């Protein structure tokens, strides 16, 4: 980010960060999702990969920071108008929330090397390449590693493909490996925080929901699987406020081991590395296919176990009395999770 700020200037009127590029110079424009940056997770990881590419190659980078989806569509339409005949101009649409925008605004680009890339999506869209990191296998692995605990899947909103894939993987593993605790079968609960995209930007609501849920139990010891974007900070706040809670949380999108002592392992989606690879292919003249898919087998998704997890807890129990508990579970189920992921059908292109 520091390097980017050295190379750019901020225009607060239209919420863009930009440098005007001379004609014939390659440019990359990143249309960020509303409230996307600053989540310490998926969106920031994506931006980091794009920033790293721009810094390493000297490619001009422009960020578009819309207040809402309506403004995002106006920005996208303007970019299509300005770049219809330009050479070497790339638009990166940040996440699947922009699928409808891409479908309804045809990317008729005639410039040499000009492209539109939509990530976190596998839709077939004329004039647009899509890229997806499968969340199924790594979520399946997280579900298997959550055995012995009741589990709460707390998701931002219903119908987002990446979230639904994560939910499916986690639940499929839990159906097999949830196990028992104190002689009772462990349960899996799914709750959606909101009925629209605002669920990704409601940390206070996430915090209040967890507090209410904890109040229902004498000992609250669920494993929370958060699919919340920026709202996840509310769950982290609860975990850090109540240092004597027995509940745990799966870190999400990046290694979050430093954000709470209650995170035994993190689901890591290396979307920044994937986007950087796509952009490097673009500058090398390699054609993007209609759809690109990555997963655990490519190293694009994995689980990172928190080192010395048990040493930082005020309370722990016999489910992880062995300091290598979660590492052993990771090693036991990783190959199975990868095989499960590879059996998923690819989209029809």
Domain residue limits, the chain: 2-134+272-297, 136-268+301-342
Percentage of residues of the chain with pLDDT beyond 70: 90
Tell me the two tokens of residue 242. 């109540």
How far apart (Å, rounded) are the C-alpha atoms in residues 168 and 171? 5
**pLDDT tens-digit map of 7-48:** 333 333 444 444 343 444 689 999 998 877 776 677 888 899
> What's the Cα-to-Cα distance from 104 to each of 76, 77, 107, rounded to whole Å?
11, 10, 9
Fold designation for 2-134+272-297: Rossmann fold (3.40.50)
pLDDT reported for residue 26: 84
Sign of the CA dihedral with 54 first, then 40, 229, and 277 last: positive
Q: Phi and psi of 161, rounded to 5°? A: -55, -45
Tell me the two tokens of residue 289. 């296919």
pLDDT reported for residue 237: 96
How far apart (Å, rounded) are the C-alpha atoms in residues 191 and 244? 24
Q: What is the mean pLDDT of the chain?
A: 87
pLDDT reported for residue 315: 67
How far apart (Å, rounded) are the C-alpha atoms in residues 137 and 118? 22
Sign of the CA dihedral with 84 first, then 161, 286, and 42 last: positive
**pLDDT tens-digit map of 130-186:** 999 999 999 999 999 999 999 999 999 998 888 999 999 999 999 999 999 989 999
- pLDDT at residue 279 above 90? yes
**pLDDT tens-digit map of 280-323:** 999 998 989 999 999 999 999 999 999 988 777 766 678 888 88
**pLDDT tens-digit map of 245-273:** 889 999 999 999 989 999 999 999 999 99
> Do the domains 2-134+272-297 and 136-268+301-342 sit in the same CATH topology, yes or no?
yes
Fold designation for 136-268+301-342: Rossmann fold (3.40.50)
Q: What is the mean pLDDT of residues 100-109?
A: 91
């Amino acid at each position: 980010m520091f390097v980017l700020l050295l190379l750019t200037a901020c225009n607060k009127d239209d919420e863009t960060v930009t440098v005007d590029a001379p004609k014939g110079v390659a440019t990359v424009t990143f249309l960020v999702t509303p409230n996307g940056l600053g989540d310490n997770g998926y969106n920031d990881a994506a931006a980091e990969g794009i920033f790293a590419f721009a810094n390493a190659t000297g490619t001009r980078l422009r960020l578009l920071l819309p207040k809402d989806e309506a403004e995002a569509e106006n920005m996208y339409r303007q970019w299509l108008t300005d770049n219809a005949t330009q050479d070497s101009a790339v638009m990166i649409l940040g996440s699947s929330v922009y699928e409808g925008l891409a479908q309804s605004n045809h990317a008729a680009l005639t410039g040499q090397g000009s492209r539109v890339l939509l990530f976190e999506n596998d839709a077939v869209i004329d004039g647009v390449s899509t890229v997806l990191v499968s969340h199924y296998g790594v979520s399946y692995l997280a579900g298997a590693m959550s055995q012995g605990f009741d589990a709460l899947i707390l998701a931002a909103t219903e119908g987002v493909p990446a979230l639904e894939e994560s939910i499916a993987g986690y639940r499929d593993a839990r159906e097999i490996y949830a196990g028992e605790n104190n002689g009772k079968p462990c349960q899996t609960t799914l709750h959606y925080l909101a009925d629209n995209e605002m669920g990704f930007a409601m940390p206070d609501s996430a915090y209040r929901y967890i507090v209410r849920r904890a109040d229902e139990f004498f000992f609250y010891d669920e494993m929370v699987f958060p699919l919340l974007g920026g709202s996840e900070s509310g769950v982290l706040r609860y975990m850090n406020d109540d240092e004597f809670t027995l509940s745990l949380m799966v870190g999400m999108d990046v290694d979050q081991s430093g954000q709470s002592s209650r995170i035994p392992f993190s689901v890591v989606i290396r979307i920044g590395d994937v986007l950087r690879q796509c952009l490097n292919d673009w500058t090398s003249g390699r054609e993007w296919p209609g759809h690109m898919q990555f997963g655990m087998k490519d190293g694009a998704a994995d689980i990172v176990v928190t080192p010395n997890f048990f040493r930082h807890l005020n309370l722990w129990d016999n489910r992880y009395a062995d300091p290598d508990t979660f590492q052993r579970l990771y090693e036991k189920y990783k190959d199975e999770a990868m095989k499960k992921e590879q059996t998923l059908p690819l989209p029809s292109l």
